[in-house]
Amino acid sequence: MRILFAGLLLLSATVLSQDVSLKYRKFIEQHVKGQMSINRCDQEIQSRGITKTNSNECKETNTFIRATTNVIKTICGQAGEPYGDMTRSLQPFDIVVCTLKNQHARRPHCQYRGQARTRRIAIKCEQGFPVHFDGDIVHFEN
């Protein structure tokens, strides 16, 4: 009986790890581009197949973080702080926010306007990995 329980525990841990791994890969695919340019929103979103969840509609806004995955991952540890049920970066990041120009368009006709910003970012972390981009935060120093 103990062996069966241990086996089930190991299996559920493996499934959970695979789930986090898939979410992490999706996060990277949708939000990480070290050398992102404000003029490449259309091309990046098109080539990565980014749309509204479970549809062919163009996503209204997508943010790309101009950093490496290793740097972003540290937000889930020592480089981040609790922010509701998210984690907020302690330092600002260079980001490109791509905003849909032609509302209600469907893929492949999505057209975006890119804007460069420097902001702290809020992400959801699971098992030490970023799995969801929540938003950027305007931060005013006191």
Output the DSSP codes for 78-138: TTEEEETTEEEESS-EEEEEEEESSTT-BTT---EEEEEEEEEEEEEEETTEEEEEEEEE-
Active site residue 109: no
Q: How far apart are CA 123 and CA 86, in angstroms?
A: 6
Q: How far apart are CA 22 and CA 66, in angstroms?
A: 21
- DSSP H or E run through 72: helix 69-73
Q: Which residues are annotated as catalytic?
A: 31, 132
